[in-house]
Amino acid sequence: MADLTDASIPKFAAGCRWGGTTEAPVVLFPEGAIRVEGTGRIILELCDGHFSLAEIVQKLEAQFMLAPKGKIRADVETFLQQLHAKRIVDY
Amino acid sequence: MPNPLALIAEITHRCPLHCVYCSNPLELTSRNEELATADWLRIFAEAAALGVLHLHLTGGEPLARPDLAEMIEGARQSRLYTNLITSGVGLSRERLAQFVEAGLDHIQLSFQDSSGGPANWIAGARAHAHKLELAAWIREHQIREQQTGERRIAFTVNLVVHRQNIDHLEEMIAALEALHPDRMEIAHAQYYGWALQNRSALLPTRAQLDRAVAVVAAAEERLRGKVRIDMVVPDYHARFPKACMGGWGRQLLLIDPAGRALPCHAAGVIPGMFFDNVRDHPLAWIWQNSAAFQKFRGEAWMPEPCRSCERRQEDFGGCRCQAFLLTGDASATDPVCELAPLHHLIEDAVREHATAGPVPAAREASFHALQENTAGFWSYRTDPK
């Protein structure tokens, strides 16, 4: 697996994109779809190729100010690594 | 009632390949019965409205339809995730570019083996060299799209595994990896249609399967994050049946080249079934009301031991077509299940057919030499009239 660092720019892997409806968005990928809600959706919306991991974490920390230090970064990393193993997100 | 998530569109049964494990029915639909472009575009729109997310364009060989680019474009306009399942034969560089332009999301290219001789022998056609050429063209699109930051098409290589190629799975995975796919589908042959006819040449032994499973697990580990590997296990060697199609009439529907709506690829083998046609009814009506879709939906049809089984919501009693093909009764528990009263039919088949030798496929032999030496070894899929 590729290393996920501050400078990594996570984005949808080949053949992965948004689908479904605005109320119930899904991520479509070869042979499957996942429904993403809440924080997962916020993270994935930032995976548009414009933001590095450090910037994504910064944005989330600004939005969720009460989260314990380091927790947001750990959660974002785990989430992106899981999607990377499924070839939904590349970085 | 849940809505369908995927539509399998068998847009033609014509195919330049003659693969011995083909999942098409033995009675193929002829060209003059095929639906028109406008029919398909209407079906795609109706499917999307019904909640379908994925469209699988398959056949036969879907490239045999000259209007395929138009269909891809129409499917994308209906917001469907569009997957082309192909042998690649009939796809030029220019036509591939048209499909990418039309919005194709995913292309799934089949391979029969890692080298030309045995691959062409299994396909009954000289197709392997062209597949390699096509893989390189797909790669060009991916690189270009990566550089420009555009949406990229996903590339899957599909390999059907059986006794004639299972012993060199490692070599096949390495050969396919070199084509830079995003995903590899390693599908053990399933015994319907042509594959059932050729079962005695295709069914692997337990020892072969165990080695293959270990090879795939090692490849998964090595390629994690690079190539996603999905394996379809051979149910003859499983303890419990597969959740065929995710349950009858629960997630998928298939439209055949003539417009008949089926709950699965093989449902036509079950006697007494009538399949409503998209020429006569809207897709939503068919999904909800067609007798064929209702036949094995839910649990009311289930015999014991399925009816009181804890696994009934996991595997839905297994495959109805396999139950019919092997027991003569489509309502029977899938004989793959170790709890099935007729499970011995599977054990007998494995004992009788899954024998290690003789494997005539000399790896270095040419297509011609293999065919000469193996006349009558298996029957090739024919082409519709």
Q: Answer whether B323's CB lies under 8 Å from B331's CB.
A: yes
Q: State the CB neighbour count (10 A cutoff) for residue B210.
A: 12
Residue B29's nearest CA partner among B382, B280, B279 is B382
Instruction: Report the C-alpha gap between A69 and A66 in whole angstroms.
Output: 9
Q: How confident is the model at residue B360 (pLDDT cuts 50, 70, 90)?
A: low
CB contacts < 8 A, A to B, total: 61
Instruction: Report the C-alpha gap between A16 and A84 in whole angstroms.
Output: 12
Collapsing DSSP states into helix, strand and coil, what is residue B281? Answer: coil
Residue A11's nearest CA partner among A45, A40, A35, A34 is A45
Measuring CA to CA, how many Å separate B170 from each of B16, B136, B164, B364?
28, 21, 14, 16
Distance of CA B351 to the CA centre of its chain: 26
Check residue A61 and give its pLDDT: 92
The model's pTM is 0.95
Q: How confident is the model at residue B361 (pLDDT cuts 50, 70, 90)?
A: low
Q: Answer whether B33's CB lies under 8 Å from B81's CB.
A: no
Per CB distance under 8 Å, which residues of B are interface residues toward A? 5, 53-54, 79, 81, 83, 105-106, 108, 142, 145, 149, 151-156, 182-183, 224-228, 230
If you average pLDDT over residues B289-317, what whole number do you get? 95
pLDDT tens for B93-136 read 999 999 999 999 999 999 999 999 999 999 999 999 999 999 99
From chain B, pick out residues whose CB is under 8 angstroms from the CB of A86: 228
pLDDT reading at B43 higher than 90: yes
Instruction: Report the C-alpha gap between B348 and B340 in whole angstroms.
Output: 14
- Residue of chain B with shortest Cα separation from A24: B51
Contact criterion met (CB < 8 Å) for A87 and B183: yes
- Please give the share of chain B, as a percent, with pLDDT higher than 90: 85
Residue B112's nearest CA partner among B57, B158, B51 is B158
Rounded to the nearest integer, the mean pLDDT of chain B is: 93
- Please give the share of chain B, as a percent, with pLDDT higher than 70: 98
Q: How confident is the model at residue B233 (pLDDT cuts 50, 70, 90)?
A: confident
pLDDT tens for B199-219 read 999 999 999 999 999 999 999
Q: Answer whether B325's CB lies under 8 Å from B269's CB.
A: yes
Instruction: Report the C-alpha gap between A83 and A79 in whole angstroms.
Output: 6
pLDDT reading at B141 higher than 70: yes
A66 vs chain B: nearest CA distance in angstroms?
33
Check residue B357 and give its pLDDT: 58
- Residue of chain A with shortest Cα separation from B143: A14
Point out which residues pair with B105 in neighbouring strands: none
Which strands sit side by side in the sheet containing A32-35, from one edge to the other?
A: A17-20, A25-29, A32-35
Collapsing DSSP states into helix, strand and coil, what is residue B97? Answer: helix
From chain A, pick out residues whose CB is under 8 angstroms from the CB of B103: none
Four-residue CA torsion sign, B363, B366, B372, B377: positive
Instruction: Report the C-alpha gap between B131 and B172 in whole angstroms.
Output: 14
- Residue of chain B with shortest Cα separation from A84: B225
Check residue B89 and give its pLDDT: 95
Check residue B83 and give its pLDDT: 98
Contact criterion met (CB < 8 Å) for B54 and A31: yes
A30 vs chain B: nearest CA distance in angstroms?
7
From chain B, pick out residues whose CB is under 8 angstroms from the CB of A31: 54, 83, 183, 230
Q: How confident is the model at residue B79 (pLDDT cuts 50, 70, 90)?
A: very high
**CB proximity list for B159: less than 8 A, separation 6 or greater:** B110, B111, B112, B172, B176, B184, B185, B186, B187
